[in-house]
């Protein structure tokens, strides 16, 4: 999509609205206004604010599919909301699409709703969501339900923090994936040096958090696929965490076991013996046809076997990730996947809407992703999941959204019997500090006295992490400085 902007600084917001309506047409800013008269040409839009004698004139236009829609309004001052509302209305008219989440393009809709409720009350917050942002009644209800469930878990203390440890290796790369991870076949030589340096970073982090008087409340080992590590490596990693930190205040220790083709009885036993309390087994689909289409090396039978191994090892809090909108999937196929995942005994089920970034091979290889574009099918799958999980006794407890999502929907975590993942609520609500170790890790430091959130980045790629590890350890010292700034205003 071509986009011309002038007279304002609301570029990020306007570009996000373009992606909302024209998901697979990359936004290209142009320097001068123009026209796109051809019916088959790429979409074109303008959002301009011009000064006038008594304020400003807002002009918005879109040309798409041989149609042209425009709006013009006078305003006494510049307003991000007024301009983006006009752009939203023009896009909605020209495409005939009314997104269920309305104008909202941010990652954290539940957090936003909570902020409005705290400031203005429940009734006014609902009005802003549904009347001002055009959020549908059903999506407001889901956000409200999620907010109410997660509230007790986001009341953390000022020195609380969670530890994230990243294992950026997978047995193979899924076709929808754009995360910073490498297949173990391609990166065999990196695993050992990466692992050794990761243990050093964990030690450094423990020393730093102890000196700052921080209190560890949850641990999350993610990826990639952490169970690409051997049983001995998993034991060593967990033992290093227990030896380095005071675990007496830690109420949750999660490992993303993830891919069924990496799970063995030995690894399950090793994690259980090492103190892991919660794991993920992520089938994405229980259809072998769909699994082949997305590049998975395992079958649905492998997933069933993984659940059996987990149960025999003594795990009762098991998460399963599912994705709506996958290539080759059908409503009947997804429905059966969900039913079977519930019957396998998952206490957490996270329902993701397929989000394709430009680096995903489904995009890069220009494969057929028509099923992803079928937003009505994706919405039907999500609606079924809400009904089925509710009937099975699950409650939604965290939610986030991404760009280029199937049907402009959402990712929602559901839990049964209160078996929520507290770490997920902290990260989505951004209510507590998360300190990250490993390649691609981003430490998010929450000022306990304000809404301020500071980030400290690790290098993204395993080789870069290895080659420049000294710099990563030095960056950890930024955490000390930032906490000293937080506390300076109080003490």
Q: Are residues 173 and 233 in the same domain?
A: yes
CA distance to 11, 13, 172, 358, 486, per residue, from 186 (Å): 39, 38, 9, 21, 43
pLDDT above 70 covers what percent of the chain?
91
Which pLDDT value is given to residue 369? 42
d(CA 217, CA 422): 9
Q: Is residue 486 part of a domain?
A: no
381-398 average pLDDT score: 97
Residue 42, pLDDT above cutoff 90:
no
Range list of H helices, 344-374: 361-364, 370-373
Which pLDDT value is given to residue 99? 93
Residue 261, pLDDT above cutoff 50:
yes
Q: Categorize the per-residue pLDDT at 204 as very low, low, confident or very high, splitting at 50, 70 and 90.
A: very high
Q: Are residues 332 and 365 in the same domain?
A: yes
| Residue 132 domain boundaries | 109-146
Q: Categorize the per-residue pLDDT at 248 as very low, low, confident or very high, splitting at 50, 70 and 90.
A: very high
CA distance to 26, 193, 206, 330, 410, per residue, from 200 (Å): 41, 11, 10, 46, 37
- The H or E element spanning position 20 is helix 11-21
107-111 average pLDDT score: 95
DSSP string, 125-187: HHHIIIIIS---HHHHHHHHHHHHHHGGGG---TTEEEEEEEE-EESS--TT--SS-EETTT-
Q: Is residue 103 part of a domain?
A: no
Residue 292, pLDDT above cutoff 50:
yes
Give buried/exposed letters for 45-67 (b at 16+ CB in 10 A, else e): bbbbbeeeeeebbbbbbbbbeee
Cis status, amide bond into 224, omega within 30 of 0: yes
The structure tokens 């795990």 sit at 315
d(CA 154, CA 396): 15
d(CA 150, CA 2): 40
Q: Are residues 136 and 215 in the same domain?
A: no
Residue 299, pLDDT above cutoff 50:
yes
201, 438 Cβ separation under 8 angstroms: yes
Residue 362, pLDDT above cutoff 50:
no
Q: Are residues 66 and 206 in the same domain?
A: no
Residue 361, pLDDT above cutoff 50:
no
Q: Categorize the per-residue pLDDT at 437 as very low, low, confident or very high, splitting at 50, 70 and 90.
A: very high
Residue 370, pLDDT above cutoff 70:
no
Which of these ranges, 4-8, 20-24, 334-338, 354-358, has the smallest mean pLDDT? 354-358
- With CA atoms as reference, report the closest residue to 215 among 166, 165, 251: 251
Which pLDDT value is given to residue 360? 46
Residue 432: CB atoms within 10 A of its CB come to 26
Q: Residue 337 is encoded by which pair of tokens? A: 């996947």
Looking at per-residue pLDDT, the higher value among 102 and 42 belongs to 102
Beta-carbon contacts of 471 under 8 Å, excluding residues fewer than 6 positions away, are 459
Q: What CATH number should be reported for the domain holding residue 297?
A: 3.80.30.20
Q: Categorize the per-residue pLDDT at 376 as very low, low, confident or very high, splitting at 50, 70 and 90.
A: confident
341, 310 Cβ separation under 8 angstroms: no
107-121 average pLDDT score: 96
Q: Is residue 70 part of a domain?
A: yes
The DSSP output letter for 124 is: H
Q: Is residue 46 part of a domain?
A: yes
CA distance to 6, 17, 33, 187, 199, per residue, from 44 (Å): 15, 13, 10, 43, 51
Residue 371, pLDDT above cutoff 90:
no
Residue 151, pLDDT above cutoff 60:
yes
Residue 373, pLDDT above cutoff 70:
no
pLDDT above 90 covers what percent of the chain?
80
Q: Is 195 exposed, middle or buried (0-12, 13-18, 19+ CB in 10 A)?
A: middle
Q: Are residues 62 and 186 in the same domain?
A: no
The total number of structural domains that make up the chain: 3
The DSSP output letter for 42 is: P
The DSSP output letter for 117 is: H
203-213 average pLDDT score: 97
Q: Is residue 188 part of a domain?
A: yes
Which pLDDT value is given to residue 185? 60
Q: Categorize the per-residue pLDDT at 39 as very low, low, confident or very high, splitting at 50, 70 and 90.
A: low
Looking at per-residue pLDDT, the higher value among 182 and 455 belongs to 455
Q: What CATH number should be reported for the domain holding residue 90?
A: 3.30.160.100
Residue 91, pLDDT above cutoff 60:
yes
335-350 average pLDDT score: 97
Q: Are residues 121 and 35 in the same domain?
A: no
Q: Are residues 407 and 283 in the same domain?
A: yes
Q: Is residue 102 part of a domain?
A: no
d(CA 201, CA 476): 9
Looking at per-residue pLDDT, the higher value among 434 and 173 belongs to 434
- What three-state secondary structure class fits 239? helix
Q: Are residues 139 and 50 in the same domain?
A: no
Q: Are residues 53 and 163 in the same domain?
A: no
d(CA 235, CA 317): 19
Q: Is residue 18 part of a domain?
A: yes
Q: Categorize the per-residue pLDDT at 194 as very low, low, confident or very high, splitting at 50, 70 and 90.
A: very high
The DSSP output letter for 355 is: B
- What three-state secondary structure class fits 296? coil
CA distance to 35, 62, 263, per residue, from 67 (Å): 11, 8, 53
Rg (the chain; Cα; Å) = 24
Helices 231-244 and 265-273 pack at an angle, to 10 degrees, of 10
pTM: 0.90
Q: What mean pLDDT, rounded, does the chain reach?
A: 91
DSSP string, 379-432: HHHHHHHHHHHHHTTEEEEEEE--TTBGGG--EEEEEETT---HHHHHHHHT-S
Which pLDDT value is given to residue 172? 67
Q: Are residues 70 and 206 in the same domain?
A: no
Which pLDDT value is given to residue 183? 54
Q: Are residues 46 and 124 in the same domain?
A: no
Q: Is residue 481 part of a domain?
A: no
Which pLDDT value is given to residue 173? 61
Q: Categorize the per-residue pLDDT at 365 as very low, low, confident or very high, splitting at 50, 70 and 90.
A: very low
21-45 average pLDDT score: 83
- With CA atoms as reference, report the closest residue to 444 among 225, 220, 279: 220
Q: Are residues 131 and 220 in the same domain?
A: no
Q: Categorize the per-residue pLDDT at 405 as very low, low, confident or very high, splitting at 50, 70 and 90.
A: confident
Which pLDDT value is given to residue 418? 83
């Amino acid at each position: 999509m071509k986009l011309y902007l002038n007279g304002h600084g609301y570029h990020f917001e306007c570009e996000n609205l373009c992606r909302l309506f024209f998901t697979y047409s990359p936004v290209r800013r142009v320097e001068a206004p123009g026209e796109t008269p051809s019916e088959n040409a790429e979409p074109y839009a303008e959002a301009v604010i011009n000064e006038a004698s008594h304020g400003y004139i807002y002009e918005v236009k879109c040309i798409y599919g041989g149609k042209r829609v425009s709006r013009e309004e006078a305003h006494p001052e510049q307003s991000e909301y007024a301009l983006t509302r006009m752009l939203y209305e023009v896009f909605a008219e020209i495409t005939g699409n009314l997104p269920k989440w309305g104008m909202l393009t941010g990652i954290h809709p539940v957090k936003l709703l909570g902020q409005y409720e705290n400031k203005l009350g429940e009734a006014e917050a609902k009005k802003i969501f549904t009347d001002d942002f055009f959020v549908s009644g059903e999506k407001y209800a889901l956000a409200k339900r999620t907010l109410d469930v997660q509230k007790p878990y986001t009341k953390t203390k000022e020195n609380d923090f969670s530890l994230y440890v990243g294992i950026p290796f997978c047995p193979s790369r899924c076709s929808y994936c754009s995360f910073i991870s490498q297949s173990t076949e391609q990166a065999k030589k990196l695993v050992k040096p990466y692992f050794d340096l990761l243990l050093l970073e964990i030690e450094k982090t423990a020393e730093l958090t102890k000196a700052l008087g921080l209190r560890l409340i949850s641990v999350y080992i993610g990826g990639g696929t952490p169970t690409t590590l051997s049983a001995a490596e998993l034991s060593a990693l967990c033992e290093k965490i227990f030896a380095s930190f005071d675990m007496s205040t830690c109420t949750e220790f999660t490992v993303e076991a993830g891919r069924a083709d990496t799970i063995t009885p030995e690894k399950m036993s090793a994690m259980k013996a090492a103190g892991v309390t919660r794991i993920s087994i992520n089938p994405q689909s229980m259809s072998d046809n769909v699994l082949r289409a997305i590049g998975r090396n395992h079958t649905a039978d492998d997933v069933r076997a993984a659940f059996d191994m987990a149960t025999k090892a003594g795990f009762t809090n098991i998460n399963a990730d599912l994705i709506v909108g996958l290539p080759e999937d059908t409503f009947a196929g997804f429905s059966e996947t969900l039913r079977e995942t519930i019957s396998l005994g998952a206490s957490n089920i996270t329902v993701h809407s397929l989000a394709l970034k430009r680096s995903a091979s489904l995009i890069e290889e220009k494969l057929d992703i028509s099923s992803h574009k079928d937003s009505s099918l994706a919405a039907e799958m999500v609606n079924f999941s809400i009904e089925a999980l509710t009937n099975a006794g699950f409650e939604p407890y965290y939610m986030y959204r991404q760009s280029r999502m199937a049907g402009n929907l959402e990712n929602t975590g559901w839990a049964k019997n209160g078996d929520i993942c507290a770490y997920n609520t902290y990260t989505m609500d951004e209510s507590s500090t998360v300190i990250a170790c490993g390649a691609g890790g981003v430490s998010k430091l929450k000022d306990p006295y304000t809404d301020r959130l500071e980030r400290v980045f690790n290098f993204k790629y395993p080789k870069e992490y290895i080659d420049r590890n000294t710099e990563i350890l030095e960056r950890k010292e930024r955490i000390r400085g930032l906490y000293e700034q937080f506390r300076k205003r109080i003490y």
